[in-house]
A = this chain, B = another copy of it.
């Protein structure tokens, strides 16, 4: 299977540069002194999450001649595709499960996208139907080399800003973010330790990498974690990247995730969603090699009520 290369990531960086925030790498003074903590705040992207990077790259490569794009997502990928499509003057059709919180449906519509609601478990079928009807180009959330290369631009920026990094910690769900960042970091900082982080309640990738093949956890199990952006599982393509590139996985408890959300608010001045805070939870849990450690804060889209509940403890 062909994996994404550093050249693919470099090409993606050229394409997405006009459209994404080049997030700063923030030196934090409150980490472990032996493992200086750096934060990459992707929560500052226009839709509040890293997903714009992959969406812009995939649309630039695959929808250059198209008039319509299609995606299925209940989360940040929906808004990323809707936003990137609007910037490029394309019609976006976003398939979302009926149970999606209204605030996320409205946020997607605000970008001018058409939202197509579907029943549970129907979203891939309904998306295929929308593609057939509209002739639109499907933009998958992670199972796509262009999406992976787009997310990899984060790794490129980290290697530019901190070439001496020792460790990078990345949230893992479908694996697009981790595949992309790991591609760039492995190429540019070959001695770095690359760690994925998952909730214990959705630790299918940790199990899969131990066994050497993808593990399938029932969705009702994965849905238990508060980290609602980390309930997907890798595809064959992303799993192949993770297997080749990751040095290990750390799994974190729900309490550790909540603590990390609090720590980011109180010490880094950043509002993170639970999925965006797991890498910090992994840094706190360890073990982490001595030396500079970069934590990806992947997104900030948390419901105001949940933020208050987590902070109130």
A residues near B (Cβ < 8 Å) are: 21-24, 26-27, 29, 41, 43-44, 46, 48, 110, 265-266, 269-272, 300-301, 304, 307-308, 311-312
Question: Are B24 and A304 closer than 8 Å at their CB atoms?
Answer: no
Question: Are A269 and B270 closer than 8 Å at their CB atoms?
Answer: yes
Can you name 22 A-B pairs with beta carbons within 8 Å?
A21-B26, A23-B24, A24-B24, A24-B44, A26-B44, A26-B46, A27-B46, A29-B110, A41-B44, A43-B269, A265-B265, A266-B304, A266-B307, A269-B300, A269-B301, A270-B270, A270-B271, A271-B271, A307-B311, A308-B312, A311-B311, A312-B312
Chain B residues positioned under 8 Å from A26 (CB to CB): 21, 44, 46
Chain B residues positioned under 8 Å from A27 (CB to CB): 46
Tell me the complex Cα distance, A304–B271, Å: 13
Which of B46, B266, B269 meets A272, CB within 8 Å?
Answer: B269
Smallest CB-CB separation from A41: which chain B residue?
Answer: B44
Tell me the complex Cα distance, A21–B311, Å: 27
Tell me the complex Cα distance, A266–B21, Å: 19
Chain B residues positioned under 8 Å from A269 (CB to CB): 43-44, 48, 270-272, 300-301
Chain B residues positioned under 8 Å from A23 (CB to CB): 24
Smallest CB-CB separation from A272: which chain B residue?
Answer: B269
Chain B residues positioned under 8 Å from A266 (CB to CB): 271, 304, 307
Tell me the complex Cα distance, A46–B304, Å: 26
Question: Are B307 and A308 closer than 8 Å at their CB atoms?
Answer: no
Tell me the complex Cα distance, A24–B23, Å: 7
Tell me the complex Cα distance, A43–B43, Å: 14
Q: Which residue, A26, A265, A311, has most C-beta atoms of chain B within 10 A?
A: A265
Chain B residues positioned under 8 Å from A43 (CB to CB): 269
Chain B residues positioned under 8 Å from A41 (CB to CB): 44
Smallest CB-CB separation from A43: which chain B residue?
Answer: B269
Tell me the complex Cα distance, A266–B107, Å: 14
Tell me the complex Cα distance, A269–B297, Å: 11
Smallest CB-CB separation from A262: which chain B residue?
Answer: B304
Smallest CB-CB separation from A110: which chain B residue?
Answer: B29
Q: Which residue, A21, A22, A23, A266, has most C-beta atoms of chain B within 10 A?
A: A266
